[in-house]
Structure formats: structure tokens, C-alpha cells
Amino acid sequence: MPDSNPALAALDSYPRTPLSHCPTPIDPAPNLGRSLGIDLSIKRDDCTGLAFGGNKARQLEYYFGEARQREADTALITGAVQSNFVRMAAAAARKLGMQIHIQLEERVENPDRNYRNSGNVLLDRLLGAHLHSFQVGEDEGAADRALDALAGELRTQGRRPYVIHLGIEHPPIGALGYVRAALELHAQWLATGQAFDAVVVASGSGLTHGGLLTGLRALGWQLPVHGICVRRGAQLQLPRLQRRTREICELLNLNGLVREADILVHDAVLAPGYGKLNDATFNAIHQTATGEGLMLDPVYTGKAMAGLIELVHCGALQPGQKILFMHTGGTPALFGYQGALEPFMAPDSD
């Protein structure tokens, strides 16, 4: 990573607490790639460590960097019941000797017992997190305000809380972790000569997608980044990414770097919505497991791979192209979704 790069220089002005195992490897996926007619590789950000790993480790390095700078002793975060982010935030807090309060939002209708007790929820409890329920599932602002209210209560008890906000009204500090990931990817390309024609990544909060895109453009790398919608449709996700990339650029003093044409979002495999399985997602999970021995989750990586497959089928990704898939983790959620997965599986499947 060139020390003279202006994005890297700006990154170093933000406090950061190392929490992840980086650089993460890039693994070939020849069987799955051959079946799709592309040259497929996978960036293994499921291997970042920190309580089963995932992309959020990179983001949390900046949130907890700021928390430690403020001498916080308690972290608060909100997310879906099977959120990977809250699980990893709990692990980071414990690693740093902090208390952790998790607010679990009801984003998925009629979940079964596994969803409420296994997977990430089990890990949250093992990590000793204080769990709070938030009945509204699709109101980021209200969820953040509820966290702020809880932080106020904790202050009256003598705690020093730090809130990790997820709503659009708060600065995208965590995205800096994926600006750094772009620099890492560039260094891997320079070391190996392994170039790519496009990247495919899950697009939810917009911080992983936006940070990666901004970092690539800061390097002068015009690699297309296809974001697969996992939380909201493309009509809503596009303006969210426009705002987030603008804010990330402002954090790095790189205003105007990312153009509107750079932001690619696709929602063909989103229905019936966040955290809900469909045929395309299950087929992607199954095909990746049986073809590469690699696990994807139903909420993020499974839908992202389903989106990649759809991009091949519709011609947006061309035969023979070198495609990089960002595996952002989420494996523990598989156990929380056992009930949803079982109807899709044949009784005696190989």
C-alpha cells in the first residue's frame, strides 16, 4: 500500500483499534466458476477472526478506535435478531474489556425457535451481552434513538457509553475499514498480478459497498463494483449509496471522487425481503457448498451470490471474465435459519 496515497494518509488521521486478521486471502473457486462460465475468485473476509469473522471486523476497528479515544467503557449497538454486526461488536467489546449492550430489532416476521435462540443469538449470550428488544424492525432512526436513550440511562449509572449508530443520519465511520480493504486488495493485485474485471458484494447499510468503491476510486482503479441489495430495493439503495459515498469522500478529503455512474445496485434476488429466503438464494448457498465446500448465509452472502449468478444469466457479467466475490461472513446465521432452510433441502440430498 503506497504511503504517498492520499486516501491512506487521511485514513491514518482516524483512530483505529486492530481487531481483524488481515490481509484476508483470495481463493479461487474453479468449480463454481466453471459452472457459471466465469473465472471466479473469493475474497475471504469471513476469515477476519473475531468470533467467527466477517466484514464487520474491519468496520469495528474504527468504531472502537473512536470509543477508546473517548475512554468509553460500554458499547451499544442495534441490529436484527440474527445480526452478524452485533455479534462481532460484542466480541470486540469483550476483547477490549468493555461491557456490551445489544438491541435486537424485529425485522423478520414469524421467526421460529432457532432464529431466536441459535446462531448469532447464542453467541451474543455466550459473550455476556446485555440483550434488549426493539419491536420496530424497519425504522433506523427510531432504533438509534432508543440506543441513545439507553446510553443516557447508563450514564446516570456512572458508565461511559459509546453508541454505534447504524442510521443514515450518522457519519459512516465504519466504511473507512473498507477503504482500507481496497488498499489491501490493490496490494494483493500488485504482489500477484491477479487482476479482476468486476467485484460483487452484498449491499445493505452501504458501508462495505461504499467504502470499497471509494477506496478503489481513490487508487485510480476503475473496477466495477456490483452491489447486491439485501435490505431494500434498488430505488432506495441507490440514493443511500450516493449519500454514503459522498460522506466517505468527505471524511477522506476526496470530494467528488465517486461518480453516480460508479454506483451499481441490483435487486433482482431481494424478494420477498430482508432476511427471507427464496429459491435463488438457497440454490446459491447449495451450489457454493457442494461445489466449493464453502458456506454462505441466507441474509447477506447467499443473496449476494444469487445476485452474482443472476448477473451472469442476464449478461451483465460476461463469459470468461475474472470476477471477485466478497465473502463478508455471516456463517453463524445458518444455524438460526435452520427452520427456513429445511423446506428447500431434499431429504437425501448429496
| Coil/strand/helix, residue 325 | strand
- Tell me how many domains the chain contains: 2
Are 108 and 10 part of one and the same domain?
Answer: no
Residues forming the active site: 83
How is residue 271 written as a grid cell?
Answer: 424478494
The pLDDT value recorded for residue 319 is: 97
pLDDT at 62: 98
Domain-ending residue, one of 136, 164, 192: 164
Question: Is there a contact between 279 and 306 (Cβ–Cβ < 8 Å)?
Answer: no
Q: List the grid coordinates of 34.
A: 466453471
User: Is the same domain home to 335 and 254?
Assistant: yes
Looking at the fold, whether 201 and 303 belong to one and the same domain comes out as: yes
Q: Please list, residue by residue across 247-267, b when 16 or more beta carbons sit within 10 angstroms of its beta carbon and e when fewer do.
A: bbbebbebeebbeeebbbbbb
Instruction: Please count the other Cβ atoms lying within 10 Å of the Cβ belonging to residue 37.
Output: 13
Backbone angles phi, psi at 240, to 5 degrees: -65, -45
Same domain membership, residue 142 and residue 238: no
With beta carbons less than 8 A apart as the criterion, state whether 293 and 286 touch: no
- Do 145 and 79 reside in the same domain of the chain? yes
**Does residue 336 share a domain with residue 220?**
yes
* Residue 128 domain-assigned (yes or no): yes
Cis peptide before 172 (omega within 30 of 0): no
Which residues of the chain fall below pLDDT 50? Answer: 1-3
Residue 202 in domain:
yes
187 and 211 fall within a common domain: yes
Looking at residue 151, which CATH number applies to its domain? 3.40.50.1100
1 within domain boundaries? no
Question: Does residue 276 lie in a domain region?
Answer: yes
Question: Could you give the residue ranges of the DSSP H alpha helices within the chain?
Answer: 6-11, 30-36, 56-69, 84-95, 113-117, 119-126, 140-156, 176-192, 207-218, 234-251, 279-292, 301-313, 333-336, 338-341
Do both 98 and 217 map to the same domain?
no
Beta strand pairing call for 161-164 and 74-80: parallel
Segment 57-67, tens digit of pLDDT: 999 999 999 99
Containing domain of residue 160, as a range? Answer: 56-164
pLDDT digits (tens, 9 = 90+) for 245-301: 999 999 999 988 999 999 999 999 999 999 999 999 999 999 999 999 999 999 999
- The reply to whether 349 falls in a domain is no
Q: Are residues 99 and 233 in the same domain?
A: no
Q: Which residues 6+ apart lie within 8 Å of 266 measured at CB?
A: 226, 227, 228, 229, 234, 307, 310, 311, 316
Among 124, 147, 164, identify where a domain stops: 164
Q: Are 323 and 39 in contact (CB under 8 A)?
A: yes
pLDDT at position 348: 59
Residue 350, in any domain of the structure: no
Phi and psi, residue 16, nearest 5°? -145, 135
Asked if 279 and 315 count as a contact pair (C-beta separation under 8 A), the reply is no
Whether residues 108 and 137 fall in one domain: yes
Choose one of 124, 141, 164: the last residue of a domain: 164
Residue 320 lies in a domain: yes
Alpha-carbon span 57 to 308, nearest angstrom: 24
In a domain, 221, yes or no: yes
Closest by CA to 243, choosing from 218, 201, 214, is 214
Q: Are residues 150 and 188 in the same domain?
A: no
Same domain, 78 and 222: no
